[in-house]
């Protein structure tokens, strides 16, 4: 397609003598010779898109940085102001969470995906390229943060001037510290009535050992003092250490799937140059691709001629299969192999849940949706699974409960998929006792992610459960209540530090299954929302675990099998039996709902049978006649109970298995 730049009229033929920039004359008369047509400039539609020349940014003028903070401390708002200050977006009142593009992020007001934006900033006569990555703040998305930091040389650590240091602030600081990045502390929300920046400065100095005069006090909402943040980024964050003359080495740190263009990979270039038409090879799959488009995110996609070492951008290379773009993969030029970059430590799932389509005919559509979404969210692990009641499905591993809810919500919103999600469980381990079993399983220590496959006590020497090291930061008036809550969850106290006059940092070792469902909600309600919680993996410990079966008229229901601690088996069994009693439809015979550990019944509920009044036709008369009718009815019910199977309807499963937000 050709576009004629000029006024009023257009033509399909393009004589070679047309010059650039001459004014258009009147439209030619119909049938006139081409030589008499006026001169003008013709652009192709490919030329019409103005492409950025990235070579004008030498390595010393590039800064790659991330914004990290606790939930709701103002990361996305600060990112909006930085985008406005550098002229990347226009200043309007509608600029709220510009980088939060997902519907789930807008609805919940949280960042779920790390987003990249390239800013062009003029400072003291030099043109700088600032690559900003806005990261999530919730503990469940810490894998996004650690991946983003691999493409950066520094971070802005944002702290709320009102709330001070929170649990995730501490976790994010140590992620940046371990990656040896420059940390610039930014105290946000100084415009609030209860803001106390001096107290927060002292906290930062005490907990992180960063001098208080290095803190920058801003209000991202009002834009107060945000220019000094840009100045600090240029002065305090070093440029990337890269070599443009070396062969190409690019790290894929994120990717999304577009149904028309295939996989769009977000890359950080460590060495070399990449341009459209280059042949590149994936170190993971060893497949060769041709680069169709390269560019930067500004914050929307902006194609460029080339990307150079030290820059962060996107790359489209016709990868049509979602499994081809592995996050952490290294891309290099064809016939110029390089040493692959270290990549990322794979995410360790903390919570497992079964996912099944509501209708089995939707299985293939849901499979495709899960594949595309796991490309964008690589921390989810997928194993195929099947259930007698719910059909074919998957066992998915998540980093936490919020992560599971967000994944489910994104499936519904982005792919219009409706699913059944079972109660979350955690991965247990069992140490096998006999050499015959070790030979059968091919290892001494087996991991169990599905409670139905939990081995019998006679086959194992010990069971192991996952534990986490939890950090709780709270105002000191709630310390007593929180300690009681932690002890009720079988937690062991490890440390207790006062970070200032009225805030305490508690460290506890928790069994993961005790905190996975509703601990965070209980903690927030006990502390009026002031306490914050963060946890990190701390391996496994031995535990007295038992497998609890749920029986309906003596028959075990595989989908309702759970693994519980011996001390809590009775209360959990009773709760499941009560929920089942409310969910199961009544039959013509009595249904016994029992929770059992091995052959021992620990809880029972009964669903009463429908009862026909067989004595309705007896008006008085001999008692033996009535007894005879009642006896016959009882025998009929006994026979029914023997031959009648209790089919648990799907909606009853959903009611019992669905995540309980509160007990």
136 is an annotated ligand-binding site residue = yes
CA 503-508-513 angle, 5° bins: 125
Cβ atoms 237, 153 nearer than 8 A:
yes
Give CA–CA dist 378/326, Å, rounded: 8
243 is an annotated ligand-binding site residue = no
368 is an annotated ligand-binding site residue = no
Compute CA 174 distance to the chain's CA centroid, rounded to the nearest angstrom.
20
Q: What sign for the dihedral angle of Cα 510, 512, 514, 516?
A: positive
Give CA–CA dist 363/356, Å, rounded: 8
**Greatest Cα-to-Cα distance within the chain, rounded to the nearest angstrom:** 123
51 is an annotated ligand-binding site residue = no
Backbone φ and ψ for 401, nearest 5 degrees, come out as -70, -40
Q: Which two tokens stand for residue 187?
A: 């105290």
Give CA–CA dist 239/249, Å, rounded: 17
**For residue 126, what are the β-bridge partners?**
123
72 is an annotated ligand-binding site residue = yes
191 is an annotated ligand-binding site residue = yes
200 is an annotated ligand-binding site residue = no
Compute how many other C-beta atoms are within 10 angstroms of the C-beta atom of residue 482: 20
Give CA–CA dist 598/227, Å, rounded: 67
Which residue has tokens 């400039």? Answer: 41
Cα dihedral value 425, 428, 434, 440, nearest 10: 60
500 is an annotated ligand-binding site residue = no
Give CA–CA dist 152/609, Å, rounded: 66
Q: Which two tokens stand for residue 380?
A: 């989810």
Give CA–CA dist 344/328, Å, rounded: 5
Could you list the beta-strand ranges (E) of 198-311. Answer: 216-217, 249-258, 262-271, 273-275, 279-282, 288-290, 293-297, 301-304, 306-308
188 is an annotated ligand-binding site residue = yes
383 is an annotated ligand-binding site residue = no
69 is an annotated ligand-binding site residue = yes
Kindly calculate the radius of gyration of the chain based on its CA atoms and give it in whole angstroms: 32
Cβ atoms 120, 62 nearer than 8 A:
no
Which DSSP category does 246 fall into?
A: S
Give CA–CA dist 414/410, Å, rounded: 6
239 is an annotated ligand-binding site residue = no
CA distances from 378 to 254, 324, 371, 482, 656 (A): 9, 12, 10, 34, 29
Pairing mode of beta strands 182-188, 154-160: parallel
Which residue has tokens 């996050």? Answer: 327
71 is an annotated ligand-binding site residue = yes
Work out the end-to-end distance of the chain between its first and last CA atoms, rounded to an integer number of angstroms: 64
73 is an annotated ligand-binding site residue = yes
Q: What is the DSSP string of 125-194?
A: TEEEEEEEEE---SGGGHHHHHHHHTT-SEEEEEEETTTBS-HHHHHHHHHHHHTT-EEEEEEE-TTSTT
Tally of helices (H runs) and strands (E runs) in the chain: 16, 33
138 is an annotated ligand-binding site residue = yes
Known binding positions: 69-76, 134-138, 188-191
- The annotation places the binding site for GTP at 69-76, 134-138, 188-191
């Amino acid at each position: 397609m050709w576009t004629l730049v000029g006024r009023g009229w257009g033509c399909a033929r393009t004589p070679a003598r047309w010059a650039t920039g001459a004014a258009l004359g009147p439209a030619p008369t119909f049938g006139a010779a081409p030589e008499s047509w006026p001169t003008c400039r013709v652009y192709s539609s490919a030329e019409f898109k103005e492409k950025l020349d990235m070579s004008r940014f030498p390595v010393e003028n590039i800064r790659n940085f991330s914004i990290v903070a606790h939930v709701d401390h103002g990361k996305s708002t600060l990112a909006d102001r930085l985008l406005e200050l550098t002229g990347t977006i226009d200043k309007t009142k509608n600029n709220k969470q510009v980088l939060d593009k997902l519907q789930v992020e807008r609805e919940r007001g949280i960042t779920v995906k790390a987003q990249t934006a390239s800013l062009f900033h003029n400072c003291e006569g030099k043109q700088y390229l600032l690559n900003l990555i806005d990261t999530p703040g919730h503990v469940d998305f810490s894998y996004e943060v650690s991946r983003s930091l691999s493409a950066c040389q520094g971070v802005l650590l944002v702290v709320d001037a009102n709330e001070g240091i929170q649990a995730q602030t501490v976790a994010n600081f140590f992620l940046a510290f371990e990656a040896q990045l420059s940390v610039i502390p930014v105290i946000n929300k100084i415009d609030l009535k209860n803001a106390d920046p001096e107290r927060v400065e002292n906290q930062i100095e005490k907990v992180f050992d960063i001098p208080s005069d290095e803190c920058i006090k801003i209000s991202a909402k009002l834009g107060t003092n945000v220019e000094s943040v840009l100045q600090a980024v240029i002065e305090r964050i070093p440029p990337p250490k890269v070599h443009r003359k070396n062969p190409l080495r690019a790290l894929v740190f994120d990717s999304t799937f577009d149904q028309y263009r295939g996989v769009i990979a977000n890359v950080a270039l460590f060495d070399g140059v990449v341009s459209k038409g280059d042949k590149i090879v994936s170190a993971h799959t060893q497949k060769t691709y041709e680069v169709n488009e390269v560019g930067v995110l500004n914050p929307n996609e902006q194609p460029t001629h080339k990307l150079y070492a030290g820059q962060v951008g996107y790359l489209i290379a016709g990868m049509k299969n979602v499994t081809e773009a592995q996050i952490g993969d290294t891309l290099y030029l064809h016939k110029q192999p390089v040493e692959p970059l270290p990549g990322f430590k794979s995410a360790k799932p903390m919570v497992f849940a079964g996912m099944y389509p509501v209708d089995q005919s939707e299985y293939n559509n849901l499979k495709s949706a899960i594949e595309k979404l796991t490309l964008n969210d690589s921390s989810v692990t997928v194993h195929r699974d099947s259930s007698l009641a719910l059909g074919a499905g998957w066992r998915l591993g998540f980093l936490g409960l919020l992560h599971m809810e967000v994944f489910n919500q994104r499936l519904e919103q982005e792919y219009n998929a409706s699913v059944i999600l079972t109660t979350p469980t955690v991965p247990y381990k069992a140490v096998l006792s006999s050499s015959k079993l070790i030979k059968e399983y091919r290892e001494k220590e087996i991991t169990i992610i599905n409670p139905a496959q939990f081995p019998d006590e006679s086959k194992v020497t010990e069971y192991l459960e996952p534990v986490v090291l939890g950090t709780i930061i709270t105002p000191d008036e709630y310390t007593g209540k929180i300690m009681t809550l932690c002890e009720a969850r079988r937690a062991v106290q490890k440390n207790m530090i006062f970070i200032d006059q009225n805030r305490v940092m508690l460290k506890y070792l928790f069994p993961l299954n005790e905190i996975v469902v509703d601990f965070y909600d209980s903690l927030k309600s006990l502390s009026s929302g002031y306490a914050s919680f963060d946890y990190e993996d701390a391996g496994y410990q031995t535990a007295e675990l038992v497998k609890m079966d749920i029986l309906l008229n003596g028959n075990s229901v595989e989908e309702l099998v759970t693994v519980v601690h011996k001390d809590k088996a009775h209360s959990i069994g009773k709760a499941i039996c009560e929920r089942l009693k409310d969910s199961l439809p009544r039959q013509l015979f009595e249904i016994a709902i029992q929770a059992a550990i091995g052959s021992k019944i620990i809880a029972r509920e009964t669903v009463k049978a429908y009862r026909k009044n067989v004595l309705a036709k007896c008006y008085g008369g001999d008692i033996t006649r009535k007894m005879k009718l009642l006896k016959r009815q009882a025998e009929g019910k006994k026979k029914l109970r023997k031959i009648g199977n209790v089919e648990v309807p799907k909606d009853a499963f959903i009611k019992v298995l669905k995540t309980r937000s509160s007990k």
